[in-house]
A and B are shown apart, each in its own frame.
Chain A
Amino acid sequence: MKISHYITDRAAKTTVLICAASSILILVAIIIFIVLQGLPTFQKVSVFNFIFGMEWRPTNGQFGILPMIVGSIAVTFGALLLAIPLGIACAILLADVAPHRVRQILRPAVELLVGIPSVVYGLVGLVLLVPAVRQLGGNGFSILTASLVLMAMVLPTIISISDDALRAVPRAYKEGALALGATRWQTISRVLLPSARSGIVASIVLGMGRAVGETMAMIMVIGNSIAFPKSPLDPARTLTGNIAVEINYASGTHENALFATGIILLLFIIILNSITITVLKKGIHKYAEHLS
């Protein structure tokens, strides 16, 4: 009896360990592969000129990706700027304000949004948003169009995780606030939102991850132009788009440069995540101090 327990324990432990190790192994393998494929680029162009170069003309030997770094940042923050207020408002509605019946319809609807393939978002953006944005000036393929499409794509992530975080706030907090004579809005803004803060920030981090990584829908609506974008109505290119648009036809150093774009993209995401995690931790500490 005891021996068999011991064996299953060990077996379970080993299996879990192998599974966990393999996921890390996959990550390491991907990083090694991308770095090995991308490094030869830097024999032709210096790291500085690659990251801060303004001209991307691979067949001419010019490999500058600054316009694309700026493009990625602009689209991501544009989308978050639009999605955060909308998403949190919607989460408050779902968690606290809306009557039960409305909630029962809205929640599955929001969850359904996650399942829509990104190419469908892109198609809708191409057919509806591009001509609409063209009315504002420019040719419709722009950072603004891409931000709008991306906003729709990160909204469900922000809504459903923020909603969960808001609902996880102990009932006693809300009841206490109301009992003290706080209005409904005071309860939401002073008690519910600060208590759910870490969950809400986590939803934003995850939404940002999706925004930076999104490729297909972006290619369809952003124009993929290599010029440095000067206004939200200008076309631009994202880092992911650069790889996806050109990899089919690239060879030699051009191909290496696309893998090098992948290295920069990885670093970009690591930096973004660490900044947000630091901000998040600070927020929690501040809140903890505030409580004590």
Chain B
Amino acid sequence: MNKTKKITFILVSTLLLLTAILAGCTQKTTTPTDTNTTSTLAGTITESGSTTVQPLAEQLGEAFSTVYPQVKVVIQGGGTAVGIKAATDGTVDIGAASRDLTDAEKPGLVTTVIARDGIAIIVNPAQSVANLTKQQVIDIFSGTITNWKEVGGADKKITVVSREEGSGTRTAFQDLILGKTAQIAATAILQPSNGAIRTTVAGDPSAIAYLSCGYVDTSVKVVNLDGVAGTEANVKNGTYKYVRPLLFITKGQPSGLVKSFLDFCLSDAGQNIVSIDYIPVK
């Protein structure tokens, strides 16, 4: 009898546990967006999207939470397409994109340019080549030039490293530098994030890649493109032309807490944060 009771107890408790888990799954975690903007702000703002925008969004979110301790800004990556989809579906308050929206994506969405970002051409620090023309970059990435000696370097095969199709950085690189007809060679090594691109180029002496200026550090070397290096300084003073917008996307006009956050991003305090690694819009 004792054993029977034990088994029944285990069965019942298992069932209860299962029900609890299932209930937990279906329960929607709603984010309370406070509409009361007059006094202190409180609530949660959710953001997801482009990995290029992610570090910037994290810094902006942190700064905003310092000013308004009651506000929590939750930042996730995912990619530009995820950001656009999430904003359209309303699953996040703000989506992030590292390229302009296409006409098909635009309906119902409002975009706010929060920063601008250059796309630098980077190589391994051991690389002797320091200057490339735009045409040479096009030929290298499309596979017409395959050896560094063709552009004045050592007799070594070029390793082209690129982002995957659909990436905001890749789309911007295609639009700004490659143009409509040239295509990135099929033999290119593809890495799925800005960080992975940098690591790959830092580890391969004959690699070349394009990278968001905000991600450039000392582990890689920036090559001059038509005589101008894609550094933050050159992007800021306007001499480097290969620049794209970084966007925050909202479904409809932003309001309440979200609007306060976007206003903060565009304020002097927000743009000061932007200017650390990117180019302010004002």
Complex Cα–Cα for A219 and B195 (A): 14
The binding surface of chain A is classed by DSSP as helix
| From A131, A245, A251, A254, contact of B192 by CB (8 A) | A245
| From A8, A57, A237, contact of B7 by CB (8 A) | A8
**Contact A225 to B189, CB < 8 A, known contacts A139-B206, A246-B165:** yes
Cβ contact within 8 Å between A225 and B168 = no
Number of A-B residue pairs with CB-CB distance less than 8 Å in the complex they form = 96
Cβ contact within 8 Å between A4 and B11 = no
Residues of B within 8 A of A85 (CB): none
| From B11, B79, B165, contact of A12 by CB (8 A) | B11
Complex Cα–Cα for A205 and B200 (A): 34
Complex Cα–Cα for A156 and B159 (A): 34
Q: Which of B1, B105, B164, B199 has the most CB of A within 10 A?
A: B164
Complex Cα–Cα for A227 and B51 (A): 26
Q: How large is the interface on A (under 10, 10 to 19, 20 to 34, 35 or more residues)?
A: 35 or more
A248 interfacial contact with B, CB 8 Å: yes
Cβ contact within 8 Å between A139 and B192 = no
Interface residue ranges of A226-255 to B (CB < 8 Å): 226-227, 234-235, 237, 244-246, 248-251, 254-255
Residues of B within 8 A of A58 (CB): 165-166
B137 interfacial contact with A, CB 8 Å: no
A134 interfacial contact with B, CB 8 Å: yes
Q: Count chain B residues whose beta carbon lies closer than 8 angstroms to a beta carbon of A.
A: 40
Residues of B within 8 A of A55 (CB): 186
B203 interfacial contact with A, CB 8 Å: yes
Residues of A within 8 A of B165 (CB): 57-59, 246, 249-250, 254
Complex Cα–Cα for A227 and B15 (A): 51
Complex Cα–Cα for A29 and B183 (A): 39
Cβ contact within 8 Å between A225 and B166 = no
Cβ contact within 8 Å between A139 and B7 = no
B247 interfacial contact with A, CB 8 Å: no
Complex Cα–Cα for A1 and B3 (A): 12
Interface residue ranges of B176-219 to A (CB < 8 Å): 183, 185-192, 196, 199-200, 203-204, 206-207
B167 interfacial contact with A, CB 8 Å: yes
B142 interfacial contact with A, CB 8 Å: no
Residues of A within 8 A of B189 (CB): 139, 141, 223-225, 235
Cβ contact within 8 Å between B187 and A235 = yes
Complex Cα–Cα for A126 and B198 (A): 13
Cβ contact within 8 Å between B207 and A225 = no
A130 interfacial contact with B, CB 8 Å: yes
A29 to chain B: closest CB distance in Å? 14
Complex Cα–Cα for A220 and B203 (A): 13
Residues of B within 8 A of A71 (CB): none
**Contact A251 to B190, CB < 8 A, known contacts A1-B1, A11-B8:** no
- Nearest B residue to A223, CB-CB: B189
- Nearest B residue to A237, CB-CB: B190
Cβ contact within 8 Å between B157 and A139 = yes
Cβ contact within 8 Å between B186 and A250 = no
Q: Which of B4, B80, B206 has the most CB of A within 10 A?
A: B4
Cβ contact within 8 Å between B191 and A224 = yes
Residues of B within 8 A of A245 (CB): 164, 190, 192
Complex Cα–Cα for A246 and B171 (A): 13
The 6 A-B pairs with the shortest beta carbon distances in the complex, nearest first, are: A249-B166, A248-B79, A227-B186, A224-B190, A139-B159, A223-B189
